[in-house]
Amino acid sequence: MTPFHAGLYQCAYYTTGDILSERSDSLLLVVTGLYGAPSLSAQPSPVVASGENVSLSCSSNLTSGTFHLLKEGAADPPGHMEAKPRMHAGRWWAIFPLGPMNTSHGGIYRCYGSLSTYPNVWSQPSAPLHIEVTASRPKDYTVENLIRMGVAGLVLVVLGVLLFQARNDTRKTHDAARMGTQRQQHTVQSGGALEPI
């Protein structure tokens, strides 16, 4: 294979009487291995919980063109993304967002790069990147539990204050009644007479 073999192919056949049949669907033939391999990485991690998102980052020192993302064993056509004119440390970058993740997203991914002048001539493949999709992470209820505990503590404090105040008010009423009784007894003992009001 050479770069000149890359491109779209169709076939047809001649029927009786040299009549040409309809053409077949187009078949894209890609030639790989002509440029250096790009790098492929996953953010935030190649291990991702079901329902979350992950981004696959493909980078290369190719000056322009398209990045191609392929999953091993997948029947889907490769994903394509134009290289952004964004350079970091002399490399071009393209991001492939995936998600929300489910078990079908798991597997081995590779990316390729191609020049804009030869879109069907691809680089060598990147090193394989294994994406693992795990069960959904249990929800972290720490903050909610802390809020609930704080509210419960506040309610207990308020109830304690109300109980203390009610007890204090009862004691004051009781003390006032006892003082009134003692005054009456003292007045009677000293010979005084209580006049009706």
Q: What is the pLDDT of residues 113-140, one digit of tens each?
A: 988 888 899 999 999 999 999 987 655 6
Q: Confirm if 66 and 81 have CB atoms less than 8 A apart.
A: yes
Residues 17-21: what's their mean pLDDT? 87
Q: What is the mean pLDDT of the chain?
A: 82
Q: What is the signed CA dihedral for 157, 159, 164, 168, rounded to 10 degrees?
A: 140
Closest of 103, 124, 107 to residue 72, by C-alpha: 107
Q: Does 143 have pLDDT greater than 60?
A: yes
Reported as a single tens digit per residue, the pLDDT across 63-108 is 678 889 998 887 766 677 776 657 777 788 888 998 898 888 899 9
Q: Does 173 have pLDDT greater than 80?
A: no
Q: Does 148 have pLDDT greater than 70?
A: yes
Domain boundaries, the chain: 33-134, 141-188
| Interacting residues of 114 by C-beta distance below 8 A, sequence separation 6+ | 62, 65, 66, 68, 120, 121, 122, 123
Per-residue pLDDT band at 141 (split at 50, 70, 90): low
| Interacting residues of 137 by C-beta distance below 8 A, sequence separation 6+ | 49, 52
CATH entry, 33-134, from 2.60.40.10, 3.30.565.10, 3.20.20.70, 1.10.10.10: 2.60.40.10
